[in-house]
Structure 1
Amino acid sequence: MVDEVRSDYDSAWKEALTVYFEPFMAFCFPDTHRDINWERGYETLDTELQEIIRDAETGRRLADKLVKVWLHSGEDALVLIHVEIQGQEQSDFAERMYIYNHRLFDRYRQKVFSFAVLGDENTNWRPTGYSYSRWGFQSSLEFPVVKLLDYSAAILEESTNPFATIIAAHLETQATRSDLPRRFQSKISLVRRLYERGYNRNQILELFRFIEWIMALPEAVQQEFKAEIRRIEEERIMPYVTSFERDAKLLGSLETTREVVIDVLETRFSTVPDTLKNSVFAINDLARLKQLYKRAITVTSVQEFEELLAQGEV
């Protein structure tokens, strides 16, 4: 099956939400987007979220995101994006929404607004709340949900919002799990669309990166894909992504990739021990470094990363 190559939904979505949080809110939750004062920026609290998740003992959610925003009213608020992106529905999903929301409120004593993104393949699975009651007591949580399957191909193709491309890539990855020729053609079409939408160079590179990450192809077919991308760029005289010949995911030399892994860890956790840095810089396997880069984005602590490195899991 094609999807067994290396499609990594969790890591890809984690980065997509990090890079395109505002476009994501605009596309998926437009009413909420209008209430947020984007000129004030926003603050990502993913490290704090991972601590809450770990304490709640419900399992680590790689793509969940916690963001502090400011509203036009002057208030600040916490926005929790809870993502279920694999192909299976989860019976305890709504309960986890409830637990995370209440844990975050307990920690911050601040309004926490939870939103759910369902990227599974069951059209009938649509959890929207969790509650329990007895003896006149009731506790409940209701949350807005977007179901990625609800977005038609026409809507995604017409939209200039970059997150429409991300959703399209996600849906096509699922739809082509056992259809290699269709995945190849879909991937080419999505990349061609990047140039047709008038995106700037950085947007094209970021979106191309997501498409590469999630729409995995066997190496032989990937070589055909590279050749086709070269041809498209020659047509448009826009050599934005052909640098991926140096490395398919925009990670280049060994030295550069080592530095990127350390930069990600320092950005997320502030302090990285010299011993860990030395271990990363001693690695001469580019493929392994690329896997470490993915894990650097999703681990919950420096210690977890050190354990993965020591155990040779990546």
Structure 2
Amino acid sequence: MVNDLRSDYDSAWKEALTVYFEPFMAFCFADAHADINWERGYETLDTELQEVIRDAEIGRRLADKLVKVWLNSGEDALVLIHVEIQGQVQTDFAERMYVYNHRLFDRYRQKVFSFAVLGDENSNWRPTSYSYHRWGFHSSLQFPIIKLLDYRIDTLEESTNPFAIIIAAHLETQATRNDLQRRFQSKLSLVRRLYERGYTKNQILELFRFIEWMMILPDAIQQEFKFQIRRIEEEKQMPYITSFERDAKLEIARENVIEVLETRFSVVPDALSQRINSLNDLALLKQLHKQTITVLSLEDFVQMLTETQGE
């Protein structure tokens, strides 16, 4: 059984909304997307959002997103994307939407448009408004939502919008919580689709990272998954993921060697750091990492490195 709590929905959604904000709006809130002047770009205000949330004493919300945009009319506005991942009904959700919206308006004195992404597993839970009234006074907030459960996997498969992949990964992660083999097959299918949709190398690597965050597999099955990824990349002649993983491992191994040398000898000369960073042999770097622990001096390390490389 998969421990689904390990699936990092928050980080995946936060990163996805950062990288693919415009495709997200186009896929999920088309009317709003059409009203925004994308040629002027947009500005993320996540730090400011966290300050507002902290001031409101509601708690830290990793996946929420605050973005400043410019409308086709020329005016600017704030777009608040609230992502709710919880699997159970949140009775105060609409109230939180109300508080966020009003706090942001109070801070910026700008129009704030709030949207909600409901990623929970309760198909009947669809909050869209919050209000209170008495003595002739009435205050309310109504906000558009998308319910991820409403998306069909086959429809998502037909879309070339990168955010369709992210939503599909979210839904498949939930649906396969207790079925490891099905999650393995679904994850493999999603990655294969990355290569068949004409995405760039960077898009493939970004989307692959999102899939990895969500669709956690036990180590044994993950190893088989990586083997199948290599087969797909050989078939497509696009070794993006395997080369990326190798480069990442090399970078970590180089950093480990330099870090131990710095810990033991305070300063590592730039020439030596550059030499270590030029190494592309993972086995050699692992060997050097072990030897940095016992070597007596930097001079001895340089001599050992030279001998190892046969120079």
Q: TM-score, normalized by length of structure 2?
A: 0.80
SS at match of 1:241: helix
Post-superposition Cα deviations, 1:94-127, rounded to whole Å, max 9, x if no partner, equal 0000000000000000100000000000000000
What is the aligned partner in structure 2 of residue 37 from structure 1? 37
Q: Is the 8 A contact 1:9 1:86 kept in 2?
A: no
1:128 and 2:117 correspond: no
CA distance in 2, matches of 1:246, 1:92: 46
Q: Which residue of 2 aligns with 1:187?
A: 187
Cα drift, residue 20 of structure 1:
0.5
Partner of 2:275: none
Equivalent-residue separation in structure 2 for 1:256 and 1:45 (angstroms):
35
Amino acid at match of 1:254: I
Report the Cα offset of residue 253 of structure 1: 2.7
Q: SS at the partner of 2:194?
A: helix
**Aligned residue in 1 for 2:237:** 237
Match of 1:160 in 2: 160
Taking every aligned residue pair, what percent have the same amino acid on both sides?
Answer: 82
Give the aligned partner of residue 253 of structure 1.
Answer: 251
Equivalent residue number for residue 266 of structure 2: none
Could you tell me how far apart the structure 2 residues matched to 1:139 and 1:147 are?
Answer: 25
Q: Is the 8 A contact 1:43 1:69 kept in 2?
A: yes
Q: Matched residue pairs, number?
A: 256
Distance 1:42 1:156, change over 3 A: same
Give the equivalent residue in structure 1 for 2:81.
Answer: 81
Counterpart code for 1:72: N
Q: Name the residue aligned to 1:223.
A: 223
Query: What are the ranges of 5 or more consecutive residues in structure 2 without an aligned counterpart?
Result: 257-311
- Determine if contact 1:63/1:82 at 8 Å carries over to the other structure: yes
Distance 1:224-1:47 versus aligned 2 partners, 3 A rule: same
Number of the residue aligned with 1:297: none
In 1, distance between residues paired with 2:254 and 2:133?
56
Once residues 253 and 86 of structure 2 are traced to their aligned partners in structure 1, the CA distance between those partners, rounded to angstroms, is 34
Matches of 2:77 and 2:254, distance apart in 1 = 38
What is the letter of the counterpart of residue 232 of structure 1? I
Q: CA deviation at 1:60?
A: 1.3
1:188-237 residue CA offsets vs partner (Å, 9 max, x unmatched): 00000001101111111100110011100111111000000000000010
Output the CA distance in 1 between the equivalents of 2:175 and 2:255: 32
Which residue in 1 is equivalent to 2:62? 62
SS of corresponding position for 2:6:
coil
Q: Per chain length, whose mean CA-contact separation is higher, i.e. which structure has more relative contact order (CA < 8 Å, sep 6+)?
A: 1
* Corresponding position of 2:21: 21
- Cα deviation for residue 252 of structure 1 reads 5.5
CA distance in 2, matches of 1:257, 1:69: 39
User: What residue is the counterpart of 2:91 in the other structure?
Assistant: 91
Structure 1 unpaired stretches of 5+: 259-314
Secondary structure in 1 aligned to 2:192? Answer: helix
* Number of the residue aligned with 1:291: none
What is the match of residue 11 of structure 1?
A: 11
Contact 1:5 1:217 in 2 (8 A): no
* Structure 1 residues 76 and 239, CA gap change in structure 2 (3 angstroms): same
Equivalence for 1:147: 147
Structure 2: distance between partners of 1:39 and 1:138: 38
Alpha-carbon contact 1:123-1:149 (below 8 Å) kept = yes
Cα distance in 1, alignment partners of residues 27 and 254 from structure 2? 34
Determine which structure has more spread, i.e. the larger CA radius of gyration. Answer: 2
SS in structure 2 at match of 1:2: coil
1:62 aligned partner, one-letter code: L
AA in 2 matched with 1:237: Q
SS in 2 for 1:188: helix
RMSD between aligned residues: 1.6
Summarize deviations over 1:229-277 as a string: whole Å, max 9, x none: 0000000101111135438xx676337889xxxxxxxxxxxxxxxxxxx
Separation of aligned partners in 2, 1:93 and 1:160? 32
Q: For residues 118 and 162 of structure 2, what CA distance do their matches in structure 1 show?
A: 19
Please tell me whether the aligned partners of residues 131 and 140 of structure 1 are also in contact (alpha carbons under 8 angstroms).
Answer: yes
